[in-house]
Amino acid sequence: MVTESVFANSRQMVLQALRDDGRASFAQIAKKIGLARHQVAAIVQAAVAEDVLRLTVSISPDLLGLERFAYLQIAVSGPVQPVRDALVSMTESTFVADIAGHYSIDAEVRVGPDPHLRRTLDAILQLPGVSDIRTTLYESIEINRFSPFHTAKAPLTLDEADRSLIMHLQRDARSSYRELGEASGLSPSGARLRFERLVRSGAIKVVGIPVRIGQPDTPTLGLGIRAGVPVNELLPRIKALDPEFLAVAIGAYDFIATISADSASELVEVMERLRGTEGLAEVDCWANLKIAKEQYGQSDSLSAEVSLE
């Protein structure tokens, strides 16, 4: 007889596998964790139906013409909701959450060439109630579970078949290669080759994103870390803690990170390990009390030529 705790653990392992690869075979997942294929399929179907998991394709910032990334902590005097709603509606924002502490809201923005970032910050500063923005620029993104990286290398040319395939994946991330072929005018084997090329080049990443919007019980912490040693010396030690997101930063912090867990006690454990990390000078921590937006690299339009290879 399967106990509730055993089922919960199996469910967590299934969703973890899809977090890393949203198109992972149910049969492979089942074999890896010791379940039957139909059990894995049932877990995934229930998670999607209950709006616990969102299977989607994240598109590289390069395909979307995005070049600069910044983390914002926003102080608000007065009601927060109008500011939050405005941030959520901005095409530049990929993450928005209510946070605890001096700042009321944090947000990640992704923008095109200068002066796009300046214009974005000016627009936020003009929102009624916004009294201050602390801006930290990302120098490089080292870990991002839910999005490909910005590469800015030699251009990869997308044709209409590539764009059609990507847009179909946005509607159904687990489409069969036959369905992808029909959508893009390719054979199933041709669609597979195109898909593998796009993944290999870093153009797209199919992921299972936990649905945390409006879920106050989903524990995540934002971290601002200052290094007491050269950044490249501390970087691998922070990576070893398996954060959900990690960026080398310029501004208020040397690193911006997000850690998540299935319980508050697990978060406490990770924080204890972080505070004991050699070379760490200081760490600020803020709870994401309520996530209002979490959307990485979804778009209705793609550039014909992008920097990927």
Q: Is residue 183 part of a domain?
A: no
* CATH code, domain carrying 123: 3.30.70.3460
Q: Is residue 112 part of a domain?
A: yes
Q: Please count the CA atoms within 13 angstroms of the CA of 261 that sit on its side-chain side.
A: 15
pLDDT tens digits for 132-181? 999 999 999 999 988 887 765 655 678 999 999 999 998 899 999 999 99
Residue 307 has pLDDT above 50, yes or no: no
Structure tokens at 197: 């090329």
Task: Return d(Cα 177, Cα 190) in angstroms, integer.
Answer: 9
- Top mean pLDDT of 39-53, 207-221, 269-283 is at 269-283
Report the range of poorest mean pLDDT among 1-15, 49-63, 101-115: 1-15
> What's residue 36's pLDDT?
92
Q: Is residue 171 part of a domain?
A: no
Give the mean pLDDT of the chain: 88
Q: 42 with 73, same domain? A: no
- Top mean pLDDT of 6-10, 27-31, 50-54, 62-66 is at 27-31
Report the range of poorest mean pLDDT among 82-91, 176-185, 263-272: 263-272
For residue 302, what are the CA distances in angstroms to 145, 157, 167, 280? 22, 11, 9, 40
Report the range of poorest mean pLDDT among 47-56, 66-75, 145-154, 269-278: 145-154
> What's residue 306's pLDDT?
41
> What's residue 6's pLDDT?
62
Q: Is residue 155 part of a domain?
A: no
Let me know if 42 is exposed, middle or buried by CB neighbors in 10 A (0-12, 13-18, 19+).
middle
Residue type, 20: D
Residue 136's closest CA among 224, 246, 213, 260? Answer: 224
If one compares 76 and 309, the residue with the highest pLDDT of the two is 76
pLDDT tens digits for 239-260? 999 999 999 999 999 999 999 8
Sign of CA dihedral 236, 242, 248, 254: negative
Q: Is residue 170 part of a domain?
A: no
Cis amide bond preceding 115, omega within 30: yes
Q: 290 with 217, same domain? A: yes
> What's residue 10's pLDDT?
86
In sequence order, the β-bridge partners of residue 109 are 70, 93
Q: Is residue 35 part of a domain?
A: yes
Q: 10 with 77, same domain? A: no
> What's residue 60's pLDDT?
86
Query: Which domain, by its residues, includes 280?
Result: 68-147+212-294
Q: 284 with 239, same domain? A: yes
Q: How many structural domains does the chain have?
A: 2
Q: Is residue 284 part of a domain?
A: yes
Q: Please count the CA atoms within 13 angstroms of the CA of 218 that sit on its side-chain side.
A: 15
* CATH code, domain carrying 33: 1.10.10
Structure tokens at 246: 């990690």
